[in-house]
Amino acid sequence: MRAIEITEPGGPEVLEWHEVPDPEVGRGDVLIDVTASAVNRADVLQRQGFYDPPPGTSPYPGLEASGVVAEVGADVEQFKPGDAVCALLGGGGYAERVAVPWQQVMPVPDRVSPREAAGLPEVACTVWSNVFMIGRLRKGETLLVHGGASGIGTFAVQLAKALGSHVVATVGSAEKAERVKELGADEVINYREESFADKVRADVILDIMGAKYLAGNVKALRTGGRLVIIGLQGGRKAELDLGAMLAKRASVHATGLRSRPVEEKGVIVRSVVDNVWPLVGAGAVRPVVHAEVPMADAAQAHRLLDSGEHVGKILLVR
């Protein structure tokens, strides 16, 4: 098969489409003929040499893919050749074929094209597990989503609205603010012009900035609030005001999805299929696709992500 190899740590130009060995299919694996994959910020870190794939996973980038089941391992009863699926991957999505534990495989939801499905597993599993399973966001509560126009943000805004929350999002431009309002956000704050910490009081905060926003996030939490940090774009070390946390009876969580064991990913994936796929199938939550780029030209897709102009997901299609 062919796959995108990272020839050395560096810029988008190090992503090259090469002939590589086919993946091995383990007893519990599903082999997928890939229709499309999607770009995540973590792929950029992997390309730059800052984020090695977890042991035992594919060396090629790509945390999600959609396609058709080509083969299943001896122990797999849940899927069969010919099924249209999408999957949460530890790596290897930027390829013609990928093998993945069956626990991480999902059917393609109704109303979603086979290509669009490639951009759903990572955002759906991340948002559902962090905002709802860990953050326990309830109907009527307020969610603050940082980076509302990101792949993660566009999904979080829609899902929280569909489940009855008041949603506030931060963005970096007026144009992105309009797009995020169209997705259902009740309030959008341009972080270049206003301080979110002075304006919002939230029950749950989905944060991607880490250190830079820690003090502001703690200030913005309501009593009993839950801060869930999933990105460190603003640094990893900062001082946490435990007095403020204690007074608010608040909690802070920091989680990563990629390194979780297969069994834990499986629990999240099944919960997504049960709770999120029906909302996608009903059209209440839609994939937001910024662009489709040929997979062999993954470098171009990374340049687009690096530019920061995108809203939603950038797909890599075959």
Ligand X SMILES: NC(=O)c1ccc[n+]([C@@H]2O[C@H](COP(=O)([O-])OP(=O)(O)OC[C@H]3O[C@@H](n4cnc5c(N)ncnc54)[C@H](OP(=O)(O)O)[C@@H]3O)[C@@H](O)[C@H]2O)c1
- Site for ligand X, rule CB under 6 A: 40-42, 122, 126, 146-147, 149-153, 170-172, 176, 191, 208-209, 230-231, 233, 255-257, 305, 308
Provide long-range contacts, Cβ within 8 A and 24+ apart, for 17-25.
Answer: 17/295, 17/296, 17/297, 17/298, 20/60, 20/95, 22/97, 23/58, 23/92, 23/95, 23/97, 23/98, 23/99, 24/99, 25/71, 25/72, 25/73, 25/99
Task: Kindly tell me which of 69 and 314 has the beta carbon lying closer to ligand X.
Answer: 314
CB of 41 to ligand X, least distance (A): 4
* 110 burial via Cβ count (<10 Å: 0-12, 13-18, 19+): exposed
Q: Show the beta-strand stretches assigned E in 148-198.
A: 166-171, 187-190
Closest distance of CB 243 from ligand X, Å: 25
Least distance CB 290 / ligand X (angstroms): 9
**Helix, coil or strand: residue 76:** coil
Residues in Cβ contact with 113 at an 8 Å cutoff, skipping those fewer than 6 apart: none
The residue among 101 and 147 lying less far from ligand X, judged by its C-beta, is 147
| Minimum separation from the CB atom of position 170 to ligand X (A) | 4
Nearer to ligand X, 79 or 216 (CB): 216
The SS3 of residue 35 is strand
Supply φ then ψ for residue 52, to 5 degrees: -70, 145
Contacts of 278 (CB under 8 A, 6+ apart): none
Q: What is the CA radius of gyration of the chain?
A: 19
Of residues 25 and 100, the one with the C-beta less far from ligand X? 100
Closest separation in Å from C-beta 197 to ligand X: 12
Max distance between CA atoms of the chain, in angstroms, equals 58
Distance of closest approach, residue 27 Cβ to ligand X, in angstroms: 27
Shortest distance, position 180 Cβ to ligand X, whole Å: 9
Minimum gap (Å) between residue 40 Cβ and ligand X: 4
Query: With respect to ligand X, which residue has the nearer C-beta, 95 or 171?
Result: 171
Residue nearest to ligand X (CB): 231
Closer of 27 and 192 to ligand X (Cβ)? 192
CA 11 to CA 5: how far, in whole Å?
Answer: 13
Handedness of CA 266, 256, 2, 305 (dihedral sign): positive
Nearer to ligand X, 30 or 152 (CB): 152
Of 126, 119, 103, the residue nearest 270 (C-alpha): 103
By beta-carbon proximity to ligand X, the closer residue of 72 and 183 is 183
